[in-house]
Amino acid sequence: MALKIVKGSIDRMFDKNLQDLVRGIRNHKEDEAKYISTCIDEIKQELKQDNIAVKANAVCKLTYLQMLGYDVSWAAFNIVEVMSSSKFTYKRIGYLAASQCFHEGTDVIMLTTNQIRKDLSSPHQYDTGVALTGLSCFVTPDLARDLANDIMTLMSHTKPYIRKKAVLIMYKVFLKYPESLRPAFPRLKEKLEDPDPGVQSAAVNVICELARRNPKNYLSLAPLFFKLMTSSTNNWVLIKIIKLFGALTPLEPRLGKKLIEPLTNLIHSTSAMSLLYECVNTVIAVLISLSSGMPNHSASIQLCVQKLRILIEDSDQNLKYLGLLAMSKILKTHPKSVQSHKDLILQCLDDKDESIRLRALDLLYGMVSKKNLMEIVKKLMLHVDKAEGTTYRDELLTKIIDICSQSNYQYITNFEWYISILVELTRLEGTRHGHLIASQMLDVAIRVKAIRGFAVAQMATLLDNAHLLTGNTQRNGICEVLYAAAWICGEFSEHLEDPMQTLEAMLRPKVATLPGHIQAVYVQNAAKLFATVLRKHEGETDSHAAQETSQLLIDRLPLFVQSANLEVQERASCILQLVKYIQKLQQKKVEVAEEVTALFAGELNPVAPKAQKKVPVPEGLDLDAWINKPPSESESEDEKPKAVFAKEEPKHSRSRHTEVDEKELARRREARKREQANNPFYIKASPSSQKVYDAPGVEHIPVVQIDLSVPLKVPGMPMSDQYLKLEEERRQKEKAERKKEKKKKREKRGKERKADSGPESEEDIAPAHQVDIVTEEMPEVSSCYFGVIKPTVHWFPVQKSSKHKKKKQKKEKEEKEKKKKKRHHHHHHHSNAGGEDSVQNGTVEEEEPLPPMSNYFLLAENSYIKMVYDIQGNHQDESKVVVSVIFENKSDSFLKSMEFNVLDSLNSKLQRPEGAGAHDSLTVPFQLPPGISNEAHFVFSVQSIVMPQKLKGTLTFIVKSDESSTHEKLDFKLHFTCTSYLITTPCYLYDAYAKLLESGDLKGSSLRLEGINMPFHHLLARICFHHHFSVVERIDSCASMYSRSIQGHHVCLLVKTTVSIDAKCDEPSLLGNVLDEIKQTFSKC
Amino acid sequence: MQFMLLFSRQGKLRLQKWYVPLSDKEKKKITRELVQTVLARKPKMCSFLEWRDLKIVYKRYASLYFCCAIEDQDNELITLEIIHRYVELLDKYFGSVCELDIIFNFEKAYFILDEFLLGGEAQETSKKNVLKAIEQADLLQEVRRLCFLKAFRGQKHFAVQVS
């Protein structure tokens, strides 16, 4: 009692203890910030006092305020003071405050080393314990280095309490100071057999974490862990050991075989769900890594699937979620085993928990068949209608399209149904997957000939109701489907019921609010429709209708001629003139339809997979011979290309041909096939192969005409549901027919077949429509591509590996040189346009050939992919730059699902489609077969351009090889230099330039380049090329250069042959940075 | 485990423990983002979510959310068990713990956590040992259980099933 009174008076001595502070904050809800700032003032006063108790109290309060988000870094030194108190009560508070507030950047940490060392060796175990705990939070590389030995000694402390903590903290020390691992490891290993279970478990923990980072160093411990696994009963330890084995098995398959038995035993026996889940996961991982040579392989999978089913059936949402998650891992390698639980997974689609539904969606991909596709999609469509969040709805949408389009529309039997689904999906508001829907529409309409009539009718309705899609927000993602709709209606306009009406719909003034690329397609296809209308009315005595159409176009097109979009403007003005001319002819009663139609003649036909094989190779054509010498092969080529081509070519081709061995040929063929398979628009080149196409490839597939009881052209929007019914009827009918047929056969042959009364098998379902190019196999030799619909995609075949082998016989050194040159050349290929331009608009004479230059810089690279990038701005938009990234697949595998993401800064932001979240990644719009590179463009918005900036980003992609597919990630840093904000702007008038310089608005700066020994014109060309300048005037020893930023800053340079640069700009910091960058460019040479 | 956060239904942070070095700014951002995400989830939803490249495991006890971030290969169920174990420890120590106990004795809540987890790994799987260590450490520092706390004891206690 007496003690309590004394203590009470001490308490009162403090102005406010932690509890008072907390209570105070709770009582000042209205003016919390003000209250806290007075508290902080008090705390500052308390910290000035000598009494350690007062200080500790103040630090304790600060720790609380730190959690509330207040900056307390100013008190770091006071925290150290409290830490070094000899009283445990205060020491504990000091260490707690340090562990909450200190981080690697806190400079006073340096002062703590000796104090911590003292505490570590304290005779009181709780002093040591508190120091270890604190250290685990704020250990820095310096502390780790200085204290590693002390902690290592503690690993053999007499008290298990300390040993356990010391072992665990060693892991943090290893991370900060890896050199300590080697000396400490033997002792760590010893601890695996420590008599105290807590220490043992700590050692297992640490080794498991280490092994996850670098498994191969820990293989030797496998037998020891095996013993521990079979003897331990502690679930926490078991889970860690099993996880460790999961990391080791990919390196040592024999281990996997040995593991299966004890793991399955555990699965059978354990009642702890966490352990069961860990075992199942590891078994799956082991089986995936073994993949072959397992005797009772399927039994283990069955066991896992069974156990997972129990998890999924459980009423606990958590178990359900994890069960589905693990199922999806099995689905990748053993789809059959999962498929048998289809009922359960479909059931999960109705779960009230969205995260569970999403997991179930992931699994659906492997669940569909021809038989149940319509049903499953119908269910998903219901969910789409009900879905609340846009994220979930978008996820559903992509899943529906994924499921339907997988393996070349393998499971779709009725494409009318699919088109209807796509049209129904366009009704979703605010989705950002318009583009996806559009590409599906195009793909189906082009490849499934039989569907075109129906598709065109649907698309015409869409165009007619375009206002429903675009709504108020004109940049709505869904309007992308109009791109597809317009193209389909135009291209296949012969199927249109009323082309005139569609034409009218496509030329409505509202169209001008659509994005430019869509308008361009509208204009172009309006012309196609015009041709169709003319042809329709040809021969009619009354030419009124045809003339009316011309007038419509002449009335409406001027709107597009005024468009700000270059493409739209160009097409519109071209077509407008054409129509005007046609109108003149019409007035003279000249028949023009045929000529106009000829403009768009040529049918876009799909091609049978093996069509090209049937084309005989013309005599004398050697497909494997080089047409042209590979450019980097010889230096003499540049000097006398004609001679080389004419005289040496035959010799070259022959000798090379023999160099290419069969293997190489097969490999190349394979690469080509993959590339073509990836291009859905790979289509035959000339009508001459028509015959071939008609002959065997497609003909043997039964194309069943559907007998529809409902009229095909449903007024308004279609209803996909009707197809479900129709499909069933159709199947019934077919089945009946087949039965009849079989009966006949049976009558004829008597025995052979059993009665077909059971449910029909997958193969029995004949599709109503057939996709052309059904198989992945593609023609062997490509003669030409056409029908590429997306204009932004270019292919840059990188002829790397194919050329390598041919040089085998040559000396290695030579080869290296050539490779180097080739790389130059390759880059040049992308960039020469810009390079030449900038040189031309200066007055640089052709003195010496310029070395090749590239403005593509390496962005990031790993063993799979290489990315190079370039940043360009334009004057139209002062806040946007376009980053062009070339992705090059370096591996032998197929790369797909590439997602590009950047962590936005306040200043620079990646432009994402409407509706996308601020952190969503952008899908790269192509896939990469091995050895192929392709370019994608990303738009960034920038605010201030005077400073360079770096943005961190990540590319994720799936590497798909024959056996497996893995998910990979590549981090990169996008460097927005100030140069990238400059645009080459020719300044032809020296007078204007001089006036600008004299105006006095510009501030000056200068730069000297040291150690440059290159011709002056090279120097100028480099500045032009790399820094987007143009030469205004060049007089003997100096040149004036000019450039403009996207925000209109003028940058002027005076470059002298003495390699000094005088510069002027209206924005000094921009200029400073540009000069720095110029300096950097030349320091690299 | 990368970090553990305790926050109330109103989104007020009650305890934070970071096992990875991050700047204060980043910590604040993560906290804000996670509190929002977790509070937005409906009560019947499962306790796991994928967030950035981490897995979030959370559980609600009365008015407090316990939220842990673990790495991809970590076991979600054992993390739930860790959360539960921590709640049990708090419950034993404070005797029917409620949110106010943690607010007013937040340093104690940290001490208990530090005896249970170290560097993001469970260091002691026996409840008894953890409590023993805390009690002995407390003996060194005269225990100051505060009488006024009892005034708030009308609050709802955590629904802890001690198994």
Q: How far is B37 from chain A (nearest CA, A)?
A: 13
Neighbours of A533 (CB within 10 A): 26
- How many other CB atoms sit within 10 Å of the CB of residue A988? 11
What number is the average pLDDT over the span A737-757? 55
Amino acid identity, residue A673? K
pLDDT in tens, A68-124: 888 888 999 999 999 998 888 899 999 999 998 888 888 888 889 999 999 999 888
Q: Per-residue pLDDT for A782 more than 70?
A: no
Phi and psi torsions of B48, nearest 5°: -115, 145
Is there a contact between A993 and A1052 (Cβ–Cβ < 8 Å)? yes
Q: Which of A925, A955, A979 is the last residue of a domain?
A: A979
Does A825 fall in a domain? no
pLDDT of residue A694: 42
Calculate how close chain B gets to A945, using CA atoms only, in Å. 25
Q: Which of A381-385, A776-780, A1006-1010, B118-122 bottoms out in mean pLDDT, i.e. has the lowest?
A: A776-780
Q: Which sign does the torsion angle of CA A988, A992, A998, A1000 carry?
A: negative
Interface size, chain A vs chain B, as Cβ–Cβ contacts under 8 Å = 145
Residue B44 burial (C-beta neighbours within 10 Å; 0-12, 13-18, 19+): exposed
Q: What residue numbers bound the domain in which A62 lies? A: 1-101
Q: Which residues of A touch B103 (CB under 8 A)?
A: 22
- Residue A547 · residue A540 · CB < 8 Å: no
| Partner-chain contact A198 B125, CB within 8 Å | yes
Considering only the beta carbons, identify the residue of B46, B80, B129 that sits closest to A320: B46
Contact indicator for A463, A483 with CB cutoff of 8 Å = no
Q: Based on the domain organization, do A882 and A1009 belong to the same domain?
A: no
- Asked whether residue A9 falls in the same domain as residue A73, the answer is yes
How close, in Å, is residue A198 to chain B by CA atoms?
A: 6
- Say yes or no for a CB contact (<8 Å) between B78 and A236: yes
- Asked if residue A448 and residue A562 are part of one domain, the reply reads yes
CB spacing of A317 vs B137 below 8 angstroms: no
Alpha helices per DSSP H over A410-543: 415-425, 434-447, 452-464, 466-470, 480-491, 499-506, 516-537
The residue out of A101, A128, A155 marking a domain boundary is A101
CA distance A84 to A1020: 64
pLDDT score for A166: 93
CA distance A195 to A206: 17
Pairwise CB contact (< 8 Å): B28 & A71: no
Task: For chain B, positions 49-88, list CB contacts with chain A under 8 A.
Answer: 49, 73, 75-78, 80-81
Average pLDDT, chain A: 77
- Judging contacts by C-beta atoms under 8 Å, the chain A residues touching residue B136 are 126
The answer to whether the Cβ–Cβ distance between A168 and B118 falls below 8 Å is yes
Cβ neighbours of A73 in B, within 8 Å: 24
Most confident of A615-624, A673-682, A991-1000: A615-624
Report how far residue A735's alpha carbon sits from residue A758's, in angstroms, rounded to the nearest whole number. 11
Residue A754: the pLDDT is 46
Q: What angle do CA A435, A440, A444 make, to 5 degrees?
A: 150
Task: Among A964, A979, A994, give the residue marking a domain's end.
Answer: A979
User: Helix (H, G, I), strand (E, B), or coil: what is residue A382?
Assistant: helix
Here the CATH number for the domain that contains residue A1037 is 3.30.310.10
- In this structure, are strands A1003-1008 and A1030-1035 parallel, antiparallel, or unpaired? unpaired
d(CA A823, CA A810): 19
Bridge partners, A883 (sequence order): A871, A938
In a domain, A138, yes or no: yes
Same domain (yes/no): A589, A458: yes
Give how far Cα A162 sits from Cα of A117, A128, A148, A180, Å: 14, 7, 15, 19
Flag if A103 and B21 touch (Cβ within 8 Å).
Answer: yes
Alpha-carbon torsion, ordered A336, A337, A343, A346, to 10 deg: -70
Let me know: does B137 contact B111? Beta carbons within 8 Å.
Answer: yes
Residue B149 in this model has a pLDDT that exceeds 70: no
pLDDT tens digits along A629-669: 777 644 444 444 443 333 443 444 444 444 456 666 677 77
- The DSSP 8-state label assigned to residue A494 in this structure reads G
Residues A174 and A205 in one domain: yes
Residue A180: exposure state from Cβ atoms within 10 A (0-12, 13-18, ≥19): buried
- Would you state the torsion angle of the CA atoms of residues B28, B30, B35, B36, taken in this order, to the nearest 10 degrees? 110
pLDDT for residue A602 is more than 70 = yes
The per-residue pLDDT for range A136-192, each reduced to its tens digit, is 888 899 999 999 999 999 999 999 999 999 999 999 999 999 999 999 999 999 998
Q: Are A608 and A773 in contact (CB under 8 A)?
A: yes
**Is A954 a domain residue?**
yes
Q: Would you say residue A778 has pLDDT above 50?
A: no
**pLDDT > 70 in chain A, percent:** 78
- Given this model, what pLDDT does residue B59 score? 93
Number of structural domains, chain A?
A: 6
Question: Which pLDDT value is given to residue A165?
Answer: 92
Please check whether residues A8 and A144 belong to one and the same domain. no
When CB atoms are compared, the residue of A64, A161, A169 closest to B119 is: A169
Do the domain assignments include residue A904? yes
Mean pLDDT score, B71-79? 90
Distance CA A13, CA A56 (A): 13
Element (H, E) at A1032: strand A1030-1035
Query: In this model, does residue A779 exceed pLDDT 50?
Result: no
Q: Which one has a higher pLDDT value, A755 or A467?
A: A467
Which residues, other chains included, contact A561 with Cβ-Cβ below 8 Å and sequence gap of 6+?
A569, A572, A573, A576
Q: What is the CATH number of the domain that holds A198?
A: 1.25.10.10
B119 to chain A nearest CA, in Å?
5
Average pLDDT over residues A399-408: 88
pLDDT for residue A715: 40
Interface of B with A in 124-143 (CB under 8 A): 124-126, 129, 133, 136-137, 140-142
Query: Residue A414 and residue A672: Cα distance in Å, rounded?
Result: 31
**B15 Cα to chain A: minimum distance (Å):** 7
Residue A249 within any structural domain of the chain: yes
Strands B121-122 and B117-118, sheet pairing: antiparallel
Q: Give me the residue from B75, B133, B141 closest to A92, CB to CB.
A: B141
Between the CA of residue B113 and those of A928, B96, B123, what are the distances in Å?
49, 17, 10
CB contact under 8 A, A239 and B144: no
Q: Are residues B141 and A88, on separate chains, in Cβ contact within 8 Å? A: yes
- Per-residue pLDDT reduced to its tens digit, A515-572: 889 999 999 999 999 998 888 887 776 778 888 889 999 999 999 999 889 999 999 9
Residues A575 and A475 in one domain: yes
Q: Which residues of B touch A279 (CB under 8 A)?
A: none
The answer on A441 and A533 residing in a single domain is yes
Choose from B29, B78, B131, B142 for mutation: most chain A CBs within 10 A.
B78
* Contact flag A169-B104 (C-beta cutoff 8 Å): no
pLDDT at A771 over 80: no
Instruction: Kindly state the percentage of chain A with pLDDT values over 90.
Output: 15
Of B136, B146, B148, the CB nearest to A126: B136
Same domain, A442 and A487: yes
Pick from A46, B98, A133: nearest CA to A18: A46
Measured between beta carbons, which residues in chain A are less than 8 angstroms from residue B81? 274
Query: CA nearest B58: which of A942, A654, A355?
Result: A355
- Centre a 10 Å sphere on the Cβ of residue A546 and count the other Cβ atoms it contains: 23
Q: In 10 A of CB A873, how many CB atoms?
A: 23
CA–CA separation, A1071 and A1029 (whole Å): 13
Confidence at residue B32, expressed as pLDDT on a 0 to 100 scale: 93
Contact A289, A252 (CB under 8 A): no
Kindly state whether residues A1047 and A991 are assigned to the same domain. Answer: yes
| CB contact (8 A) between residue B123 and residue A236 | no
Which of A73, A132, A317 has its CB closest to that of B46? A317
Query: pLDDT band for position A346 (50/70/90)?
Result: confident
Is the Cβ pair B73, A318 closer than 8 Å? no
pLDDT of residue A1052: 85
Strand pairing category for A865-874 and A877-889:
antiparallel
Round to whole Å and give the CA distance between A273 and A308.
Answer: 11
Helix residue ranges per DSSP H, chain B: 24-40, 76-94, 99-104, 106-116, 127-140
Question: How do residues A264-294 score in pLDDT, each as one tens digit?
Answer: 888 888 888 899 999 998 888 888 777 655 5
Contacts of A66 (CB under 8 A, 6+ apart): A72, A97, A100, A101
Q: Extract the tokens encoding A19.
A: 């509890």
| Burial of residue B13, with CB atoms counted within 10 A of its CB: 0-12 exposed, 13-18 middle, 19 or more buried | middle
Q: pLDDT at position A470, please?
A: 67
- Distances from the Cα of A340 to the Cα of A68, A270, A335, A979, angstroms: 52, 25, 9, 60
Residue of A133, A205, A354 with shortest CB distance to B114: A133
Contacts of B118 in chain A (CB under 8 A): 132-133, 136, 165, 168-169
Both A1018 and A1072 in a single domain?
yes
Mean pLDDT is lowest, of A158-167, A794-803, A1055-1064, for: A794-803
- Closest Cα of chain A to B39: distance in Å? 15
The reply to whether residue A22 touches residue B104, judged by beta carbons under 8 angstroms, is yes
Nearest-neighbour CA in chain B from A193: distance (Å): 16
CATH of the domain at A941: 2.60.40.1230
Q: Which of A282-286, A608-612, B150-154 is the most confident on average?
A: A282-286
Residue A235's closest chain B neighbor by CA? B78
Query: Is residue A1014, in this structure, part of any structural domain at all?
Result: yes
- What SS3 state is found at A433? coil
User: Do residue A206 and residue A247 come from a single domain?
Assistant: no
CB atoms within 10 A of CB A109: 20
> Mutation test of the interface with chain A: which of B36, B42, B49, B75, choosing the one with the most A Cβ atoms within 10 A?
B75
Residues of chain B with C-beta less than 8 angstroms from the C-beta of A168: 118-119, 121, 123
SS (H, E, C) A517-553: HHHHHHHHHHHHHHHHHHHHHCCCCCCHHHHHHHHHH
Instruction: Give the pLDDT confidence score for residue A591 in this predicted structure.
Output: 81
A743 part of a folded domain: no
Contact list in B for residue A100 (CB cut-off 8 A) is 16, 110
The distance of B163 to chain A (nearest Cα, Å) reads 13
pLDDT over threshold 80, residue A964: no
Contact criterion met (CB < 8 Å) for B44 and A69: no
* Section A1065-1079 average pLDDT: 85
Q: Determine the residue of chain B that is closest to A89 in CA distance.
A: B141
The owner of tokens 């007619």 is A464
Considering only CB atoms, B118 lies closest to which of A126, A136, A321, namely: A136
d(C-alpha B55, C-alpha A320), whole Å: 16
Q: How many CB atoms lie within 10 A of CB A1048?
A: 11
The 3-state DSSP composition of chain B as helix, strand, coil percent (nearest 5) reads: 45, 20, 35
* Structure letter (DSSP) for residue A646: I
Task: Give the mutation candidate from A52, A355, A954 for the B interface (greatest B CB count, under 10 A).
Answer: A355
Which whole number is the average pLDDT over A831-852?
Answer: 45
In-domain check, residue A296: no
Q: From the CA of A869, how many Å to the nearest CA of chain B?
A: 26
Please name each of the domains of chain B with its CATH number: 3-125 (3.30.450.60)
Contact B137 A100 (CB under 8 A): no
Euclidean distance between CA atoms B15 and B4, whole angstroms: 8
Q: What are phi and psi of A880, to 5 degrees?
A: -130, 140
Tokens of A1036: 């003997």
Half-sphere exposure of A895 (CA within 13 A, CB side): 29
Of B110, B111, B122, the CB nearest to A236: B122
**How high is the mean pLDDT of chain B?**
83
Helices A125-138 + B127-140 axis angle, to 10: 110
Q: Which amino acid is at A1012?
A: I
Nearest neighbour of A212 by CB, restricted to B28, B73, B122: B73
Contacts 24+ apart (CB under 8 A), A76-80: A76/A101, A76/A102, A76/A106, A76/A107, A76/A108, A77/A108, A77/A111, A78/A47, A79/A108, A80/A108, A80/A111, A80/A112, A80/A115
B 20-39 residues with CB below 8 A of A?
A: 21-24, 28
